[in-house]
Amino acid sequence: MASFDKDSLSNTFIVAVGICLVCSVIVSGIAVALKPQQQLNRELDQKQNILRAAGMLPADSNVDAQGRTVDELFAEFEVRVVDLTTGEYLDDIDPSTFDPIKAARAPETSMALSAEQDIATLRRRENASEVYIMRGEQGIEKLVLPVRGYGLWGTMFGYLALDADLQTISGLGYYNHKETPGLGGEVDNPRWKAAWAGVQLFDSAGQPDVRLVKRRSEASLPAANYEVDALSGATFTTRGVQNMVNFWTGELGFGPFIQRLKPSA
């Protein structure tokens, strides 16, 4: 009987391939098994970001002051998809499966923006987007809108929340950006974020006019209501933030939808 040579080239190869196969099956199995949990974590993260932008969840906690959890708080929101051109609801699109970024890539579900229109550097804007609405006895209490736009190093993704009057900003928060920590990354600084609450959005002509300024106007002047401190040493990020807020609340963004929602409209 021929003896088994465990050091032969072919046997070494077979053992190596066998080990690789076993390992890859284990790794793939774990990846597949964890997928639902990863999806749940992504959804929880998104809910937290929306609630934080709306000022309903502290930055350092997963429950509010009354101990309500993220899911309990988020249940107060109605999630809808709106047609950005008409501002009407699109009830045939399921918000849970709708992907605005994918929609923005396809010519049939988005529009190309001209250089003049494209202040947020998007190139294309999706035809529809999801919105998060919280209603109370008096009508709308909060409206949260997804916003995105280019900073210095890449696209910044966040949520802008408006108060019941749909004129006053309640908060702005980013959940994904590539800006430099300490410079553009200061968009995550809680002190800077807190300064957004109360900022006015639309000017007397109904156009969004938020300004990020190096020196704020005298508090007594009307202009002060529209101003937020610029980020020092981060002119490009600052400009990106200003442009994305004004783009997404303007005529090419959620402007038509906001107008439709206003009680007087």
Residues forming the site for ligand FMN (CB under 6 A): 152, 179-180, 183-184, 232-237
Chain residue at closest Cβ approach to ligand FMN:
184
**Listed residue (151, 150, 173) closest to 160, CA to CA:** 173
Least distance (Å) between residue 192 CB and ligand FMN = 13
Least distance (Å) between residue 35 CB and ligand FMN = 33
Please, which residue, 98 or 236, has the CB nearer to ligand FMN? 236
Distance of CA 123 to the CA centre of its chain: 18
Least distance (Å) between residue 25 CB and ligand FMN = 43
Task: Please state, in angstroms and rounded to a whole number, the distance separating the CA atoms of residues 255 and 182.
Answer: 33
Task: Please state, in angstroms and rounded to a whole number, the distance separating the CA atoms of residues 141 and 143.
Answer: 7
Least distance (Å) between residue 237 CB and ligand FMN = 4
Least distance (Å) between residue 78 CB and ligand FMN = 36
Please, which residue, 184 or 256, has the CB nearer to ligand FMN? 184
Please, which residue, 152 or 169, has the CB nearer to ligand FMN? 152
- Return the structure tokens found at 156: 């910044």
Least distance (Å) between residue 173 CB and ligand FMN = 17
Task: Please state, in angstroms and rounded to a whole number, the distance separating the CA atoms of residues 122 and 150.
Answer: 7
Please, which residue, 126 or 179, has the CB nearer to ligand FMN? 179
Please, which residue, 36 or 181, has the CB nearer to ligand FMN? 181
- Provide Rg for the chain, Cα atoms: 24
Please, which residue, 89 or 236, has the CB nearer to ligand FMN? 236
Contact (CB, 8 A) for 109 and 126: yes
How many distinct helices (H) and strands (E) make up the chain? 6, 9
Q: Which helix (H) or strand (E) holds 156?
A: strand 155-163
Contact (CB, 8 A) for 172 and 205: no
Distance of CA 39 to the CA centre of its chain: 17
